A and B are shown apart, each in its own frame.
Chain A
């Protein structure tokens, strides 16, 4: 288990006591997300659907790489890594 820095955009900070970055332990991106939601339960409904899967409009990055192009939630993380979580912003 490594301590991972999770960077939160402005829109997610109200659910994390206003913090721009928090530390969570885990050995995969999925564990980091689980740990984040455990520490900040208000984030859960924003990040996860009713079945516990990450919502479609949420993008997760590990060190600036989209985890969809890595091993998704199974992507391993090590000390010093940075995870970033961002909603998709779109319009017409």
Chain B
């Protein structure tokens, strides 16, 4: 489940519109467990999102995104200072549904992308923004397809 405030939800949709016709991207942050085990994904998978932080799309493309590495680094530092940690990534699809593309699956299953990360995707393909969220990792998804994609509920918590 992706639990977030209406404020964060609006910020995410606004960022997608703002960057259109290019793909937008950003990071989702939740309270850090400070235990050193929080990012291993054993517990607290559905901690509510406290901050959405837009990140410049270094690819400057309407088809792909790449988090600007420098902004990513600064976001990590800001998260540390605020007692938060990165728990997911958001990006927009300008021409297709809010569903992980083959490129998304390939990138999400790379070694350093935690299988616990939320993959929040905003589609602008239909003229109105639609936000859906997924877990994308080996073994995720329907048993019959093993697509690596499991949709999760988006829950507005206030």
- Is A19 positioned at the interface, with any CB of B under 8 Å from its CB? yes
B80 contacts partner chain A, Cβ-Cβ < 8 Å: yes
Q: Which residue of A lies closest to B101 (CB)?
A: A92
Question: Which of B69, B80, B113, B119 lies in contact with A11, CB distance below 8 A?
Answer: B113
Q: Provide the B58-76 mask, 1 if CB < 8 A to any CB of A, else 0.
A: 0100011111011011001
Contacts of A14 in B (CB 8 A): 36-37, 39-40
CB closest residue in chain A, given B114: A11
Looking at chain B's contact residues, is the secondary structure mostly helix, strand, loop, or mixed? mixed
Q: Which of A45, A84, A89, A92 contacts B67 (CB 8 A)?
A: A89
Q: In whole angstroms, what is the CA distance A7 to B65 when docked?
A: 24
Chain A binding surface, main DSSP class:
mixed
Quick one: CB contact mask for A76-92 with B, threshold 8 Å, 1 for yes? 00000000101111111
CB pair A7–B79 under 8 Å, yes or no, is: no
Q: Given A10-B85, A11-B114, A91-B107, do A66 and B69 touch, yes or no (CB 8 Å)?
A: yes
Contact A18 B64 (CB under 8 A): no
Given contacts A10-B76, A10-B79, A11-B112, contact A90 B66 (CB under 8 A): yes
Size bracket, chain A contacts: 20 to 34
Chain A interfacial positions (CB closer than 8 Å to B): 7, 9-14, 17-20, 45-46, 57, 59, 61, 64, 66, 84, 86-92
Identify 28 residue pairs between A and B in the complex whose beta-carbon atoms are under 8 Å apart, listed by A's number: A7-B76, A10-B76, A10-B85, A10-B86, A11-B39, A11-B86, A11-B112, A12-B112, A14-B36, A14-B39, A14-B40, A17-B36, A18-B35, A59-B69, A61-B69, A61-B73, A64-B73, A84-B73, A87-B113, A89-B66, A89-B89, A90-B59, A90-B65, A90-B103, A91-B64, A91-B100, A91-B104, A91-B107
